[in-house]
Amino acid sequence: MLGPRASYGVFFKPMLIEFSWTRALTSGAYSISLIMQGLSGIIMGGLNDRLGPRVVMTLCGLILGLGILLMSQINATWQLYLFYSVIIGVGMGGLIAPPFSTVTRWFVRRRSMMMGIVVAGGGAGMLTMPPFANWLLFTGWRNAYIILGAVVLVVTILAAQFLKRDPAQIGQTPYGENEIQAQGLNLVAQGFSLKEATYTWQFWTLVILLFCYGFAGATIMVHFVPYITDQGISAATAATVSATIGGAVIGGSMVLGVIASRIGNRKTCIISFFLLAAALFCLLIARDVWMFYLLAVVIGFAQGGITPLQSTLVAELFGIKSHGLILGICAFGLTLGAAVGPFVTGYIFDLTGSYQRSFLILGTIGTVGLILAIMLRPTKRLGGRI
C-alpha cells in the first residue's frame, strides 16, 4: 500500500507540465490526502479492534485501488483533490493501524523485530514502485496510473484474506505471552482506554513526536525527486535515488528492529531521529548524485527505525486493550505532519524559487522530534522499559 504513495513524486512534474499547476497546489492534494488518511486511520483502527484486519484491509484495498484508477481520468484541479485527496486518502487509512495493531497482538516477545519485518514490506514498495512508475511513464502518466491501480487492487485484496486479528481466533496465544504473564502483567486488563490515554503526557508527547516525523518524511517523499532534478540530474536517476530510500527502509527496519529488542524502543527512536535530523540538515549542501544517494540511505535507514516503533511504543505505554484506536489517533499526528510538510515546502518554493529555507525547517523539525524521544518515559500504570 505504501508504494503508490511513494510514487507521487514521479507523477509530480508530468502533471505540473500538462496542467501548469503550481507546486503548492499539487503538493496540497498530497497533504489533504494525508489528513484524510489520518482520519480514516482512526476509524479503521477502531474497526480493526472489533472486526479484524481481513474486513478492514479488503475495504481499504478496494477504495485505494479505485482511487488510483480514477487518477488516470483527471482533467481539472477538483478531480485531483477528489480522487487523490479524498478517495486515495480514505483507502490509505488501512496503511498503519490495522496491520501494525494486528502484529502487535500476535507478538509479545520480539515485537519490535516483527514490526521491523512488516515495515520492510513497506520499504520494498518504496524501493520498487517509484522506478516501476517512472518506467511506466513511457506509456503516459494516465496509463501508468491504470496499471498501478490494477496491481494495488488485486494484491491488497488478495493479501487481506490471509489476515486474522489475533491468535485466539485459531486457538493459539501470542508469541511470548506466557513470559509476560509469569511477571504478573496483563497488557489487556491493565491497558488504557483511549480516554485514559489522552490524560497522560506520554500520549501527547508521542503524538507530537510522530507529527515531526510525518512532516519531515512526507516532505522528502514528495519533493526529493523534484529537488534532485532541479540540480540538472535526470528524472530516471532521481527516481532511482528516491527508490534507494525504500531499500534503506528495509535495512533500517530489520537492523534497528533487532537493536530495539535489545536496547529498547526509546533508545532506538533517539538513534533514528538523530540520523534523520542530521541528514535533513545535510540536504542544504547536497548537489552531487553521490551525496543524494548517501543521504537517501541515511534517511531511509532512519525511517526504517522510526516507523515500526509507533505501534510498539503504543503497546508498551498503553497496553493493547484499545491498541488499534489509540494507534489510529497517534498515527493521525503523523499524517497531519505529513500533510502540512509537503504543502508548506511547496508554498515556500513558489515564493522563493528554492528549497533551502524548507530544508532548514525540516532539520529543525527533526531535532524537535529527537528532543521529544529523549523526554519519553513509561506510564505509571504499566511501568517497565520502553
Q: Which helix (H) or strand (E) holds 147?
A: helix 141-160
Calculate mean pLDDT across residues 344-367.
92
Give the pLDDT confidence score for residue 186 in this predicted structure: 53
Choose the weakest-confidence range: 292-301, 322-331, 369-378.
322-331
The phi, psi pair for 107, rounded to 5°, reads -130, 135
194-to-65, 211, 265, 335 alpha-carbon distances in Å: 31, 19, 22, 19
Task: Kindly write down the DSSP assignment for every residue of 9-40, as one continuous string.
Answer: HHHHHHHHHHH---HHHHHHHHHHHHHHHHHH
Give the pLDDT confidence score for residue 145 in this predicted structure: 94
Strand, helix or coil at 7? coil
pLDDT tens digits, 260-307: 888 989 999 999 999 999 999 999 999 899 999 999 999 999 998 898
89 has pLDDT over 50: yes
Give the pLDDT confidence score for residue 190 in this predicted structure: 67
Q: Which residues contact 203 (CB under 8 A, 6 or more apart)?
A: 197, 317, 318, 326, 330
Calculate mean pLDDT across residues 3-10.
79
CA gap 304, 10 in Å, rounded: 22
Give the pLDDT confidence score for residue 236 in this predicted structure: 85
The candidate with the shortest Cα–Cα distance to 356, out of 223, 232, 243, 235, is: 223
Give the pLDDT confidence score for residue 183 in this predicted structure: 47
Strand, helix or coil at 189? coil
Percent of residues in the chain assigned helix, strand, coil, to nearest 5:
80, 0, 20
Share of the chain above pLDDT 70, in %: 96
pLDDT grade, residue 94 (50/70/90)? Answer: confident
Whole-number mean pLDDT of the chain?
Answer: 88
In sequence order, the β-bridge partners of residue 175 are 107
Choose the weakest-confidence range: 64-68, 108-112, 177-181, 240-244.
177-181
Domains of the chain are: 2-166+187-375 (1.20.1250.20)
CB 226 within 8 A of CB 106: no
CB 325 within 8 A of CB 42: yes
Handedness of CA 40, 52, 269, 126 (dihedral sign): negative
Give the pLDDT confidence score for residue 55 in this predicted structure: 93
Strand, helix or coil at 228? helix
Give the pLDDT confidence score for residue 179 in this predicted structure: 58
CB 121 within 8 A of CB 100: no
* Residue whose grid cell is 535489545: 262
Give the pLDDT confidence score for residue 218 in this predicted structure: 86
CA gap 68, 299 in Å, rounded: 27
Give the pLDDT confidence score for residue 262 in this predicted structure: 87
Choose the weakest-confidence range: 38-47, 111-120, 147-156, 296-305.
111-120
Angle subtended at Cα 288 by Cα 285 and Cα 292, rounded to the nearest 5 degrees: 75
CB 152 within 8 A of CB 61: yes
pLDDT grade, residue 386 (50/70/90)? Answer: confident
178 has pLDDT over 50: yes
101 has pLDDT over 90: no
Give the pLDDT confidence score for residue 301 in this predicted structure: 94
CA gap 298, 313 in Å, rounded: 23
The phi, psi pair for 231, rounded to 5°, reads -85, 5
184 has pLDDT over 50: no
Give the pLDDT confidence score for residue 154 in this predicted structure: 93
* Residue whose grid cell is 540538515: 281
